[in-house]
Amino acid sequence: MTTRILVTGGAGFIGSHYVRTLLGPSGPGEVAITVLDKLTYAGNPANLDEVRDHPGFAFVQGDICDPELVGKLMAEHDEVVHFAAESHVDRSIDGGAEFVRTNVVGTHTLIDAAHRAGIKTFVHISTDEVYGSIDSGSWPETHPLQPNSPYSSAKASSDLIALSYHRTHGLDVRVTRCSNNYGHHHFPEKVIPLFITNLLDGKKVPLYGDGGNVRDWLHIDDHVQGIELVRTKGRAGEVYNIGGGTELSNKQLTGLLLEACGADWDESVEYVADRKGHDRRYSVDCTKIRTELGYEPRKDFATGLAETVAWYRDNRAWWEPLKERAAL
Ligand SMILES: NC(=O)c1ccc[n+]([C@@H]2O[C@H](COP(=O)([O-])OP(=O)(O)OC[C@H]3O[C@@H](n4cnc5c(N)ncnc54)[C@H](O)[C@@H]3O)[C@@H](O)[C@H]2O)c1
């Protein structure tokens, strides 16, 4: 029997990769997907061109904060995978209102409608940033949430609201908390695509502070793999960390990107004032998803990065207008 999945934020970076993967040749089959996306600056209909003519695909432009629309859609679906969010930390520092509206109010609107419609499974996509910053070691899922930016605080709030619907109403809610993703179709305001596209244009790259902030990098293929394991085999009311195991300081990452683009450090790197409240290091402990669901990241970072650089080199028509519009 076909499972009807409502995917919010499916025109964005990770959501669109999830949709392309599920409806692609290596997908699970027997799924029909409706994407609900507002098409903010980060949403791009072109990200879904590959699946537009698939018989199991439908697109609805709309806001997850619209209870009427969301209620109607829930009645027509079995499961929800919820990606929609305001996702850029720097923008949340400039102003947090949209982050609270979409990430907190939007998630509540969705999950309340899911509960009322008797949705079978609700997968809430969250981030490792909800745990705060950690100097050494890694966070297990039981670690208290200590978010620092307006973005991560709004995401943490949405995690708690989502989980409260399991505890209170018995709704099958599953939460994923993933480390930094990279790959193709990534909006060029984020560090990896910003640096690659700047370097391809012979421009400098802005490195925050001392470049010592550390992130764990995960290819989008492996994030999608983890989400699918959680959707199909995870347990209700549980949180699953998803990580890549490739920890790099921003300085190390910059070095690798310069090498991949054939650029020189002294000519291409410009140190800029650090991001306010910049978390020093993120690191998730992925023992639970590995042992319980058999998750294993498959894409090694060197290969994934080379493929990503090649994609941006070959797809200027995708990113040039986005950079121009966002004045990046
Ligand atoms: N990018 C990462 O490295 C990363 C890591 C861990 C978790 N996450 C989480 O994964 C999810 C997706 O991230 P992404 O990088 O693909 O984000 P993105 O910014 O590329 O895409 C977000 C999508 O949500 C849509 N959207 C925004 N507000 C909406 C609203 N009110 N109603 C309907 N649609 C709306 C946008 O149009 C866009 O298509 C987010 O929840 C994010 O917190 C991202």
Cα distance between residue 286 and residue 16, in whole Å: 24
- Report how far ligand 1's centroid is from the alpha carbon of 11 (Å): 9
Cβ of 159 below 6 Å from ligand 1: no
- Report how far ligand 1's centroid is from the alpha carbon of 9 (Å): 6
Q: What is the CATH number of the domain that holds 118?
A: 3.40.50.720
Q: Using the predicted structure, report yes or no on whether residue 271 has a pLDDT greater than 90.
A: yes
Q: Judge whether 286 lies within some domain.
A: no
Q: Provide the β-strand partners of residue 252.
A: none
- Report how far ligand 1's centroid is from the alpha carbon of 87 (Å): 5
What are the tens digits of pLDDT across the range 132-153?
999 999 999 999 999 999 999 9
Structural domain for 138, as ranges: 3-181+219-242
Q: What is the CATH number of the domain that holds 203?
A: 3.90.25.10
What are the tens digits of pLDDT across the range 1-44?
899 999 999 999 999 999 999 999 999 989 999 999 999 999 99
Length in residues, the chain = 328
Q: Judge whether 291 lies within some domain.
A: no
- Using CA atoms, how far residue 254 sits from 3, 213, 314, in Å, is 42, 12, 21
Do residues 322 and 203 share a domain? yes
Residue nearest to atom 9 of ligand 1 (CA): 126
| Whether 296 is catalytic | no
Q: Using the predicted structure, report yes or no on whether residue 166 has a pLDDT greater than 90.
A: yes
Q: Using the predicted structure, report yes or no on whether residue 274 has a pLDDT greater than 90.
A: yes
Region 278-292: mean pLDDT is 97
| Whether 159 is catalytic | no
Cα distance between residue 181 and residue 197, in whole Å: 17
Classify strands 269-272 and 121-127 as parallel, antiparallel or unpaired: unpaired
- Sign, Cα dihedral of 35, 40, 46, 47: negative
Residue nearest to atom 36 of ligand 1 (CA): 43
Query: Could you write out the three-class secondary structure of 177-245?
Result: EECEEECCCCCCCCHHHHHHHHHHCCCCEEEECCCCCEEEEEEHHHHHHHHHHHHHHCCCCCEEEECCC
Cα distance between residue 53 and residue 50, in whole Å: 8
Cα distance between residue 100 and residue 97, in whole Å: 5
What are the tens digits of pLDDT across the range 66-79?
999 999 999 999 99
Do residues 63 and 86 share a domain? yes
Cβ of 125 below 6 Å from ligand 1: yes
**How sure is the predictor about 290, in pLDDT bands with cuts at 50, 70 and 90?**
very high
Catalytic residue selected from 37, 63, 78, 129 = 129
Do residues 60 and 137 share a domain? yes
Do residues 106 and 125 share a domain? yes
Do residues 203 and 264 share a domain? yes
- The domain total for the chain is 2
- Report how far ligand 1's centroid is from the alpha carbon of 97 (Å): 16
Count of CA atoms in the C-beta half-sphere (13 A) of 36: 27
Count of CA atoms in the C-beta half-sphere (13 A) of 54: 24
Q: Judge whether 283 lies within some domain.
A: no
Residue nearest to atom 7 of ligand 1 (CA): 127
Cα distance between residue 74 and residue 80, in whole Å: 8
Do residues 255 and 237 share a domain? no
| Whether 129 is catalytic | yes
Do residues 87 and 193 share a domain? no
Cα distance between residue 262 and residue 237, in whole Å: 47
Q: Using the predicted structure, report yes or no on whether residue 245 has a pLDDT greater than 90.
A: no
User: What is the per-residue pLDDT for 137?
Assistant: 97
Do residues 223 and 305 share a domain? no
Q: Which residue matches tokens 């910053």?
A: 133
Catalytic residue selected from 18, 131, 151, 240 = 151
Cβ of 83 below 6 Å from ligand 1: yes
Neighbour count for residue 198 (Cβ, 10 Å):
21
Do residues 199 and 114 share a domain? no
Cβ of 295 below 6 Å from ligand 1: no
Q: For residue 51, what is the DSSP state?
A: G
Do residues 229 and 310 share a domain? no
Neighbour count for residue 181 (Cβ, 10 Å):
22
Q: Which residues contact 237 (CB under 8 A, 6 or more apart)?
A: 163, 166, 167, 172, 173, 174
Residue nearest to atom 30 of ligand 1 (CA): 63
Q: Judge whether 142 lies within some domain.
A: yes
Region 186-211: mean pLDDT is 97
